[in-house]
Structure 1
Amino acid sequence: MVGIALLLFSLVYAEALTPEVHLSLLTQRGLQIKVKDIPGLQEVGYHYTINKVLPYTNGDYNYEVYHKSGDGFWTHENNNVQVNPGDGISYALYFKINGIGEVISNLHWKAQTGTSSSTSTNNTFGGLSTESASANSQHPLTTTTTIPQTYPSQSQNMKLIFSDQFNGNTIDKTKWKHDVSAFGGGNWECQIYSPEPANSYVRDGVLYLLPTLTSDKFGEDFLYHGVLDVQQQWGICTKKEFYGCRRDSKDAIIPPIMSSKLITNEKFSFKYGRVEVEAKMPVGDWIWPAIWLMPRDEHYGGWPRSGEIDIVETRGNRNYGNIGIHQMMSTLHWGTNWDQDRWGMTTQHRDLSSGTWGDDFHTYYMDWTADHIILGVDGKPVLTAATPPGGYFQKGHFSGSNIWQNGGNDAPFDREFYLQMNVAVGGTNGFFPDNVQHGGYAKPWSNNDPEAPKKFYESRHQWMPTWKGEDPALKVRSVKIWSYSSDHAMSLFG
């Protein structure tokens, strides 16, 4: 029940609304769910399972309806699923009203011929009331939903502790610090993170993090015959691992891309709260943007022992199997060693039925308490990770001593984290899997290739045409962070 009540953090309405939900069996085969139209309704999502528990809001069947039908309903029909009288439907609903998303979860219906009933009658979940028609009704199930009138940013328990609307002409150095390194994320990614103005800048209220060719600054000969001393070039090197502070072309090609990574570490960190980042994802082959959080102090040890929270990651490719720029992912990383990362137990994705995440701005968010971490977009949860009752060590089925035994059940996610935003390119850790059908040409490198960055660069005639203008930039219009308790916020400005 914890995860259900906590979904209320995504609710935002100026007034109470009561959408009616109707479920029924189709005559020949399948299921119909429809919502009666209300003012301002722009989209309805139907997520459901049959004869099993719905894992939060991620069902076996997930559909979005973008247009209402002529009868004044937003209707979903699935003729490809077998639903028999007596089967149980567990479902969640998503409503987008006047640009704001809201989720209602933990709804249930027992399928019957000619009549409908619900197992979630007259329940209240943290202020969200659902009332269902009686089992003797000769009409499909009608669920009346009363929406609370509070929203996190308006709640008396919320306090805005970080905000940047990028209103000036430069990056605010009191809030952000550049990561400056050729570290490559430990994944042999192809970029150098630089403080160069060509790679990070503010214009017209938008922050741009734009990848460019290293040869644009240093010349192509430098890639094959030069030495990059990061400290000497920019006066600072923030990460020395994986040859992050010095690259010699005698060992391997100098990273062929320059890009940007901004972090709030040493400026700001916090524990428990809500993050909202309004951003447009980059478009271009092999571009890997991320908006994510890392622990301020590696209290439980090096990665992933102290955790990692990925609010959103995407792949910039338009034509990369079914995992290109139409898909976004949210993930938690946690484990006892780098090769024991249990991220696969805490990751979900959302796919657009049309368009891409690079077509427009979306609001990516995190709600984080001791009881849960919810990651999502436009008010719609993507990943809901309730704190395991026995802690993450038990959840991960690790052996040996519990490295988080001195923390809370939510350890390692019980310490202060800081926010970071970056645009990486390429890499060999499998984020860009081998053997995925790619439109136009094959992936230029394999993930076990020691010369992956070189092969990536030398195929630029294939991928550079997909990097059009500023499309490869991660564009950010707003960053806001609230604390759920002032005791949990820590500001390090100055």
Structure 2
Amino acid sequence: MLTGPIEKPWLANKDKRLGLSNVLVYFIAFLGIAGGAVRCFFTWKSTERLGNLCLVMEDTFDTFDTANTWNHEVTMSGFGNQEFEMTTASSNNSFVQDGKLFLVPTLTSDVIGYDNVLGSPPFTFNLTGCTDANATNCGAVSNATAETVIPPVMSARINTLGHHAIKYGRVEISAKLPRGDWLWPALWMLPVDDAYGPWPRSGEIDIMEARGNGPEYPAQGVDYVRGSLNWGPFSWLNGVSKTFGWWTNRRKTFADGFHTYALEWNDRFLRIYVDSRLTYMLNLKFNEPFFQRGGFPTVVQNGTDFIQTPNPWSNGTKNVAPFDQRFYLIMNVAVGGTNGWFPDGAGGKPWLDGSLTATTDFAKKQSDWYATWPQNVDDRAMVVDSVKMWELC
């Protein structure tokens, strides 16, 4: 150990350059802190705000209110995506327990047997309590020879049509997503009235869509959630590719716990995010007409004729239409489909979108995909803790 006085020659011969370097370091650090504070302030100041909001609906699921809040959609229609599930009003597929709503996919074979799903021998199944106006979507016939099957999955889809809808406001849903290959949970909105024509002319707001496949799935699995807007003059000319985004959870998946999925929307902007405005999936300013935003071709083929591409929103609110109408909420767990949500060739997908036997091909691989579905209902269901809707006052 040192004893006696310690020499410190640097105190006697100070290097002015060293002092100057210290000053520069502190000055640059100060500039960085000040610049960050200024940027945060102006970003906060420029962030769009909704204004005064009035609560129009809140459900914490003490009960399942199917009289005044929720409607079941009971059908085998496939909902335009040629999904592989039928939706039911059965308590096997939707129920409230411990203050939470469960939307659960189950196997049709558990009800009618696997041979009957595949049609060996042919089997007819009629859906109890069907709500579809088209009677052909209320039943199906399986036939192994014709390669037609009964939809191999039963699930649930509920909505607030006729009870609660908003034009501009906020929606907030606390939910935990399901695990399992080819599950497709969604929280989304459709217009009460198709003011601008059939889908997608009148718009669609997707607050959250996801895939139940694991994080190893190459086309964004359950560690990703997506938000988007659908709009376009024709079903095959949809501008969704210009108005979508996603957020990913790098440490866990969105099936590991509850997250808040939110929409904020008025006539100036539309924002979709998960948990915080900082983690937004879509932050869109209404600063140009949607027909212009879409960059659609001037002329399109309609059957055998070529026509000028119509602008469905020419008489709507400038820059906002079709999202200037009242929209209602939908919550569902779909399975598969042929619209491209699950890309061909990714993750061992057991069907091709262009195949005429896509549902049959999926049903025949039941033992493979069902093995990825948790037996614990809490993990296989989309579990919703609360739903809130506000409208601008």
TM-score normalised by length of structure 2: 0.81
Q: Distance in 1 between matches of 2:195 and 2:321?
A: 10
Q: Go from structure 1 to structure 2 and tell me whether the alpha carbon gap of 1:194 and 1:403 turns closer, same or farther (over 3 Å shift).
A: same
**Is the Cα contact below 8 Å between 1:178 and 1:262 reproduced in 2?**
yes
Counterpart in the other structure of 1:378: 275
Q: Distance in 2 between matches of 1:412 and 1:262?
A: 23
**Is the Cα contact below 8 Å between 2:233 and 2:310 reproduced in 1?**
no
Following TM superposition, by how much is the alpha carbon of 1:217 offset from its aligned partner in structure 2, in angstroms?
1.6
Larger radius of gyration: 2
Counterpart in the other structure of 2:13: none
Q: Distance in 1 between matches of 2:24 and 2:137?
A: 66
Query: What whole-Å deviation, never above 9, does each CA across 1:342-398 have from its counterpart, x for those lacking one?
Result: 100001011111211100000000001011110110013210111133x10111123
Equivalent position SS for 2:246? strand
Counterpart in the other structure of 1:407: 316
Q: Distance in 1 between matches of 2:24 and 2:310?
A: 55
Equivalent position SS for 1:159? strand
Following TM superposition, by how much is the alpha carbon of 1:245 offset from its aligned partner in structure 2, in angstroms?
2.4
Correspondences of 1:190-205 after superposition (within 5 Å): 190-205=84-99
Counterpart in the other structure of 2:188: 292
Flag structure 2 segments of 5+ consecutive residues without an equivalent: 1-22, 299-308
Q: 1:173 pairs with 67, 70, 79, which one? A: 67
Correspondences of 1:279-358 after superposition (within 5 Å): 279-318=175-214, 319-358=216-255
Counterpart in the other structure of 2:154: 258
**Is the Cα contact below 8 Å between 1:181 and 1:239 reproduced in 2?**
no
Answering whether residue 140 of structure 2 is matched by residue 217 of structure 1, we say no
**Is the Cα contact below 8 Å between 1:198 and 1:210 reproduced in 2?**
yes
Counterpart in the other structure of 1:186: 80
Query: What whole-Å deviation, never above 9, does each CA across 1:240-288 have from its counterpart, x for those lacking one?
Result: 39x4223222462110100000100122222100000000011001000
Answering whether residue 368 of structure 2 is matched by residue 462 of structure 1, we say yes
Following TM superposition, by how much is the alpha carbon of 1:172 offset from its aligned partner in structure 2, in angstroms?
4.0
Answering whether residue 139 of structure 2 is matched by residue 246 of structure 1, we say yes
> Could you tell me which amino acid in structure 1 is paired with residue 293 of structure 2?
K
Equivalent position SS for 1:343? helix
Counterpart in the other structure of 2:351: 445
**Is the Cα contact below 8 Å between 1:362 and 1:378 reproduced in 2?**
yes
Q: Distance in 1 between matches of 2:310 and 2:86?
A: 38
Counterpart in the other structure of 1:393: 291
Q: 2:388 pairs with 480, 488, 493, which one? A: 480
Q: Distance in 2 between matches of 1:275 and 1:115?
A: 49
Counterpart in the other structure of 2:340: 430
Following TM superposition, by how much is the alpha carbon of 1:173 offset from its aligned partner in structure 2, in angstroms?
2.7
Equivalent position SS for 1:388? coil
Q: Go from structure 1 to structure 2 and tell me whether the alpha carbon gap of 1:138 and 1:310 turns closer, same or farther (over 3 Å shift).
A: closer
Counterpart in the other structure of 1:66: none
Higher strand share: 1
Query: What whole-Å deviation, never above 9, does each CA across 1:165-211 have from its counterpart, x for those lacking one?
Result: 0013x344310000010011212211001000000000001100000
Equivalent position SS for 1:354? coil
Following TM superposition, by how much is the alpha carbon of 1:321 offset from its aligned partner in structure 2, in angstroms?
1.3
Flag structure 1 segments of 5+ consecutive residues without an equivalent: 1-113, 117-132, 486-494
Q: Go from structure 1 to structure 2 and tell me whether the alpha carbon gap of 1:239 and 1:277 turns closer, same or farther (over 3 Å shift).
A: farther
Counterpart in the other structure of 1:489: none
Q: Distance in 2 between matches of 1:393 and 1:306?
A: 12
TM-score normalised by length of structure 1: 0.65
**Is the Cα contact below 8 Å between 2:107 and 2:153 reproduced in 1?**
yes
Q: Go from structure 1 to structure 2 and tell me whether the alpha carbon gap of 1:296 and 1:115 turns closer, same or farther (over 3 Å shift).
A: farther
Following TM superposition, by how much is the alpha carbon of 1:322 offset from its aligned partner in structure 2, in angstroms?
5.0
> Could you tell me which amino acid in structure 1 is paired with residue 99 of structure 2?
G
**Is the Cα contact below 8 Å between 2:171 and 2:262 reproduced in 1?**
yes
Counterpart in the other structure of 2:12: none
Following TM superposition, by how much is the alpha carbon of 1:152 offset from its aligned partner in structure 2, in angstroms?
8.1
**Is the Cα contact below 8 Å between 2:191 and 2:327 reproduced in 1?**
yes
Q: Distance in 2 between matches of 1:140 and 1:152?
A: 28
Counterpart in the other structure of 1:140: 32
**Is the Cα contact below 8 Å between 1:115 and 1:139 reproduced in 2?**
no
Equivalent position SS for 2:333? strand
Q: Distance in 1 between matches of 2:179 and 2:209?
A: 12
> Could you tell me which amino acid in structure 2 is paired with residue 378 of structure 1?
D
Following TM superposition, by how much is the alpha carbon of 1:462 offset from its aligned partner in structure 2, in angstroms?
1.3
Following TM superposition, by how much is the alpha carbon of 1:423 offset from its aligned partner in structure 2, in angstroms?
0.3
Q: Distance in 1 between matches of 2:104 and 2:29?
A: 59
RMSD (CA atoms): 2.4
Q: Distance in 2 between matches of 1:322 and 1:229?
A: 35
Correspondences of 1:257-276 after superposition (within 5 Å): 257-276=153-172
> Per chain length, whose mean CA-contact separation is higher, i.e. which structure has more relative contact order (CA < 8 Å, sep 6+)?
2
